[in-house]
């Protein structure tokens, strides 16, 4: 069930398309969007002039992480264009989950995964806070049968929230037309690519992360995303790399194919523009580091074609926090 501003959301139609449009026009959510847009985007870095000293957990594309406010100060994601950064938070316990959803195919199971440590058995007496940021209007809204990537993802999320026995209070619906700006040529871009949550208060704000706050093991985690498309066991699921109770990242062994390595060799030779249009659902809207990050992943695959050498004895890569902002790889026993 969906709630907005404390009242149950009862649209005139049960169609997912109609529900999304009704939420986009809801006065309370429009007001919340204006308030969100008025917040300056915070650039989270541990190496800037004003470094963040908070304990952060970062979520890459198709990952999710549930954090305990006693162990983590900030959790978030960015680099979302046609994807959605989704927050589900239990205001009673403070348990907070952030997922980076990139396809309608991962919504149903992904929502179940995200709820596993956030929800409580007493579903009648708790309303879970939900924030959605991302998914701009990547297609012309008046063109028939041209929905782009963003709209179907929004529809699927809203449908599954509405069907659930749990109660979800949508606090932010910063998606589609509420998250779209245009340049002087009329090209559309997201207003915001990411969000972060202060776990103690539940405050959500626009955010971007740099390499120092996206760690640990960013390249391996990105390779895992590509490898997951070749592994049927990951079909329809979000990727879990963070251990909630131990505040560790655990990347379990996974193989990458010879095809993935060959593809890396081929893609590395292409121009930046060709890479953008070959790999992105929204090539004009990607951030300045997008192509560079793609090349870093391909270079790693080329230098490490055998996944077993990256996971000696097929042991997981385990990272433990040192202080607030550093991670160290430890041996698994």
User: What's the pLDDT tens digit per position in 182-200?
Assistant: 998 888 999 999 999 999 9
Cα torsion for 329, 113, 294, 208, to the nearest 10°? -80
| Whole-number pLDDT of residue 185 | 87
Q: What SS3 class is residue 148?
A: coil
Sort strands 56-58 and 74-77 into parallel, antiparallel or unpaired.
Answer: parallel
pLDDT at 122 over 80: no
pLDDT per position as a tens digit, 39-73: 999 999 998 888 888 999 999 999 999 999 999 99
- The predicted model scores a pTM of 0.95
321 backbone dihedrals φ, ψ, rounded to 5°: -75, 140
Q: In which band, very low, low, confident or very high, does the pLDDT at 256 lie, cut at 50, 70 and 90?
A: very high
What average pLDDT does the chain have? Answer: 93
pLDDT at 210 over 50: yes
Q: Is the dihedral of CA 91, 38, 24, 9 positive or negative?
A: positive
| Whole-number pLDDT of residue 144 | 44
- Please name the helix (run of DSSP H) or strand (run of DSSP E) that holds residue 246, with its range, or none: none
- Do the Cβ atoms of 133 and 80 come closer than 8 Å? yes
Closest CA to 226 of 133, 152, 300: 300
Contacts of residue 212, defined as CB under 8 A and 6 or more positions apart, other chains included, come to 45, 46, 47, 325
The DSSP bridge partners found for residue 3 are 8, 169
pLDDT per position as a tens digit, 257-273: 999 999 999 999 999 99
- Do the Cβ atoms of 300 and 263 come closer than 8 Å? no
DSSP 105: G
pLDDT per position as a tens digit, 8-31: 998 888 899 999 999 999 999 999
Mean pLDDT, to the nearest integer, of 319-323?
94
- Do the Cβ atoms of 219 and 296 come closer than 8 Å? yes
pLDDT at 304 over 50: yes
CA distance 156 to 19: 11
- Please name the helix (run of DSSP H) or strand (run of DSSP E) that holds residue 22, with its range, or none: helix 16-25
Closest CA to 78 of 158, 191, 181: 191
**In order of start, what are the domains of the chain with their CATH numbers?**
2-215 (3.30.1330.200)
| Whole-number pLDDT of residue 121 | 64
């Amino acid at each position: 069930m969906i709630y907005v501003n404390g009242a149950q959301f009862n649209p005139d139609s049960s169609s997912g398309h109609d529900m999304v449009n009704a939420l986009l026009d809801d006065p309370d959510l429009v007001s919340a969007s204006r308030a969100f847009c008025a917040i300056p985007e915070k650039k989270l870095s541990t190496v800037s002039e004003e470094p963040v000293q908070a304990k952060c957990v970062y979520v890459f594309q198709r990952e999710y992480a549930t954090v305990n406010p006693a162990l983590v100060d900030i959790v978030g994601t960015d680099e979302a264009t046609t994807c959605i950064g989704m927050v589900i938070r239990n205001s009673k316990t403070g348990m907070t989950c952030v997922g980076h959803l990139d396809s309608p195919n991962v919504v149903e199971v992904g929502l179940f995964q995200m709820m596993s440590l956030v929800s409580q058995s007493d579903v009648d007496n708790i309303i879970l806070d939900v924030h959605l940021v991302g998914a701009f209007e990547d297609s012309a809204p008046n063109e028939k049968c041209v929905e782009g990537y963003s709209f179907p993802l929004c529809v699927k999320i809203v449908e599954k929230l509405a069907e659930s026995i749990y109660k979800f209070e949508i606090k932010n619906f910063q998606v589609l037309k509420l998250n779209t700006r245009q340049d002087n040529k009329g090209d559309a871009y997201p207003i915001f690519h990411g969000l972060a949550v202060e776990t103690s208060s539940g405050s959500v704000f626009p955010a971007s992360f740099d390499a120092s706050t996206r760690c640990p093991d960013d390249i391996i985690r990105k390779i895992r995303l590509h490898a997951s498309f070749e592994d049927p066991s990951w079909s329809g699921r979000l990727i879990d790399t963070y251990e909630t109770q131990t505040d560790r990242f655990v990347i379990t062994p996974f193989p990458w194919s010879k095809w993935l390595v060959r593809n890396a060799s081929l893609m590395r030779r292409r121009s930046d523009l060709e890479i953008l249009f070959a790999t992105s659902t929204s090539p004009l809207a990607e951030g300045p580091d997008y192509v560079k990050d793609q090349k870093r992943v391909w270079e790693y695959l080329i230098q490490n074609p055998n996944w077993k050498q990256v996971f000696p004895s097929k042991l997981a890569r385990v990272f433990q926090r040192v202080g607030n902002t550093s991670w160290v790889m430890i041996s698994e026993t």
